[in-house]
Amino acid sequence: MTTQGDSPRAQVIKYSSMKLSDIDMNVHVDCFPCFLRQANIALSAGEADEQLWREVLKAVLTDIKAAEFHKSPSHASTRMHRRIRAMLGRDPFAKLKTLYNDEALALLPSLKETVRASSDPLTTAARLAIAGNIIDFGIFQSVDIEGTVKRALSEPLGVDHSERFRSDVEKAGDILYLLDNSGEIVFDMLLIAEMQKLGKRVTAVVRGGPILNDVTLKDAMHVGLDALCEVMDNGNDSVGTVLEEASDDLRERFARSGTLVISKGQGNFETLIHEARPIYHLFQAKCSVVASMLRLERGTMLLMGGGMEGTAE
């Protein structure tokens, strides 16, 4: 892991010496307190009373105890959040999702102008999409959207494969865009629009059911994403994209050789890191475990090519 004194360029050099296929993206001991913290965030967002809060925490300890070390953290998180949702009888993040969708929509005109005025609209839109990944209530209880936007536009990315990304976008026919969080999807719309200007057919993929503050079809329609491009759900409510649980339609599209896959967020990164096909991961390394595995500082922003050996530039 890099130190506070490491420059972004030094971070890239350290990352360049590794292969994603060598990373053990499984449950680690540091994940366990994080699971419990996630549960408390969900219960706070869901406005559980004290008695129910206690009951749910005791119940989810069973899921945390059952976490399998040979699987990704998203598997354990998924089971836990399904239990929380069932015991609450509602989606605990529903209000927050609407709030941040609306807050992001209020920023959309100025974000569009930032992209329009840029000398490199595609890269600027990609950076803004990465900035939007800060809206993650599986990790944070509050976020600084505008500060993160400024950082994304002014600082080097910790891992920056933007030139190859541009080349692959230009060569692609279809693009499969795996979405992550509500609110964040408004930022994703900027990148989708820029790729469409290049003549690309983009399909945006949402979760098949509520999980954390991840995007569902309802959220996509709320922000108008369905008017911009085709939207499909992945057939399940897992954290990330768990292909063995996904719909046949998604698996078939994912496997198409002429399709470029863009993966947003840590959950998608955790579940797709070992896929052999070329994939671009756009996210912020918000988790200390993930950041440490990548030998980067927590909070590092990445536009990273995966599924390809020799990803360093």
Query: What is the DSSP secondary-structure string of 251-285?
Result: HHHHH-TTEEEEEEHHHHHHHHTT-SS-EEEEEE-
Whether residue 35 is found in the same domain as residue 151: no
Dihedral over Cα of 189, 195, 197, 202: its sign: negative
Whether residue 218 is found in the same domain as residue 174: yes
Residue with tokens 């939007």: 132
pLDDT at 16 over 80: no
Predicted confidence at residue 142, as pLDDT, reads 57
pLDDT, tens digit, 9 for 90 and up, residues 30-48:
999 999 999 999 999 999 9
7 within some domain: no
102 within some domain: yes
153 within some domain: yes
46 within some domain: yes
The mean-pLDDT minimum among 14-23, 118-127, 158-167 falls in: 14-23
> Please, what's the b/e burial string for 12-32 (b: 16 or more CB within 10 A of its CB; e: otherwise)?
bebbeeeebeeeebbbbeebe
Predicted confidence at residue 148, as pLDDT, reads 87
Whether residue 172 is found in the same domain as residue 270: yes
Q: Are strands 301-306 and 279-284 parallel, antiparallel or unpaired?
A: antiparallel
8 within some domain: no
Range of the domain at 227: 14-19+94-306
The mean-pLDDT minimum among 9-18, 39-48, 269-278 falls in: 9-18
Predicted confidence at residue 239, as pLDDT, reads 95
**What is the rounded CA–CA span in Å between residue 14 and residue 151?**
21
Whether residue 69 is found in the same domain as residue 214: no
| The domain boundary residue, chosen from 72, 88, 104 | 88
The mean-pLDDT minimum among 19-28, 64-73, 188-197 falls in: 19-28
The fraction of the chain above a pLDDT of 70, given in percent, is 89
pLDDT at 10 over 50: no
Please calculate the CA angle 136-160-255 and round it to the nearest 5 degrees.
75
158 within some domain: yes
Predicted confidence at residue 287, as pLDDT, reads 85
Average pLDDT score, the chain: 89
Mean pLDDT on 43-59 = 97
The mean-pLDDT minimum among 13-17, 93-97, 142-146 falls in: 13-17
Sheet strands (E) in the chain: 159-160, 174-178, 201-206, 230-233, 259-264, 279-284, 301-306
**What is the rounded CA–CA span in Å between residue 276 and residue 85?**
34
Query: What total of structural domains would you count in the chain?
Result: 2
**What is the rounded CA–CA span in Å between residue 279 and residue 263?**
7
**What is the rounded CA–CA span in Å between residue 16 and residue 66?**
35
The amino acid that residue 290 corresponds to is V
Whether residue 56 is found in the same domain as residue 116: no
Whether residue 192 is found in the same domain as residue 114: yes
Mean pLDDT on 249-272 = 95
Q: What is the DSSP string of 18-41?
A: --GGG---S--TTHHHHHHHHHHH
**What is the rounded CA–CA span in Å between residue 267 and residue 74?**
6
186 within some domain: yes
Predicted confidence at residue 42, as pLDDT, reads 96
Mean pLDDT on 130-149 = 76
Whether residue 74 is found in the same domain as residue 145: no
| The domain boundary residue, chosen from 43, 71, 88 | 88
151 within some domain: yes
Question: Which secondary structure element, helix H or strand E, spans residue 220, and what is its range?
Answer: helix 217-223
